[in-house]
Amino acid sequence: MTSPNVSEPEFEQAYKELVSTLENSTLFEKNPEYKKALEVAAIPERVIQFRVVWEDDKGQCQVNRGYRVQFNSALGPYKGGLRFHPSVNLSILKFLGFEQIFKNALTGLSMGGGKGGADFDPKGKSDNEIRKFSVAFMNELQKHIGADTDVPAGDIGVSPREIGWMFGTYRMRKGKWEGVLTGKGGSWGGSLIRPEATGYGLVYYVEHMIKHASKGQESFQGKRVAISGSGNVAQYAALKAIELGATIVSLSDSKGALIATDDKGITPELVSTIAQLKVERKQLSELANASEYKDKFKYVEGARPWTHVGNVDVVLPSATQNEISGEEAEALVKAGAKFVAEGSNMGSTQEAIDVFEKTRREKGSDALWYGPGKAANAGGVAVSGLEMAQNSARLKWTAEEVDQKLKGIMEDCFNNCLKTAQEFVPPKEGELPSLVAGANIAGFSKVAAAMKDQGDWWKSD
Residue ranges of the annotated binding site for NAD(+) are: 198, 232
What is the pairing mode between strands 46-55 and 61-72?
antiparallel
How far apart CA 85 and CA 102 sit, in angstroms, is: 24
pLDDT for the residue numbered 1: 57
> How many C-beta atoms surround the C-beta of residue 53 within 10 A?
13
Distance separating alpha carbons of residues 215 and 210, to the nearest angstrom: 8
How far is Cα of residue 31 from the mean position of the Cα atoms in its chain? Answer: 29
Annotated binding site for substrate: 79, 100, 103, 154, 384
Q: What is the pLDDT of residue 156?
A: 87
Please answer whether residues 150 and 70 qualify as being in contact, where contact means their C-beta atoms are separated by less than 8 angstroms. Answer: yes
Catalytic residues: 115
Q: What digits encode the pLDDT tens for the residues 98-156?
A: 999 999 999 999 999 999 999 999 999 999 999 999 999 999 999 999 999 999 999 98
The CA-atom distances, in angstroms, between 296 and each of 90, 205, 287, 292, 381 are 42, 30, 11, 8, 35
Residue 287 is predicted with a pLDDT of 83
Residues in the chain, pLDDT under 50: none
Give the three-state DSSP class for 343.
coil
Domains of the chain: 44-174 (3.40.50.10860), 196-376 (3.40.50.720)
**Stated pTM of the model:** 0.93
Q: Is 371 in contact with 342 (CB distance < 8 Å)?
A: yes
Residue 80 in contact with residue 100, Cβ under 8 Å? yes
**What pLDDT, on a 0 to 100 scale, did the predictor assign at position 286?**
86
Looking at residue 321, its pLDDT comes to 87
317 contacts 348 by C-beta, under 8 angstroms: yes
How far, in Å, CA of 197 to CA of 191, rounded? 10
Residue stretches of the annotated binding site: 79, 100, 103, 154, 198, 232, 384
Q: What is the pLDDT of residue 37?
A: 96
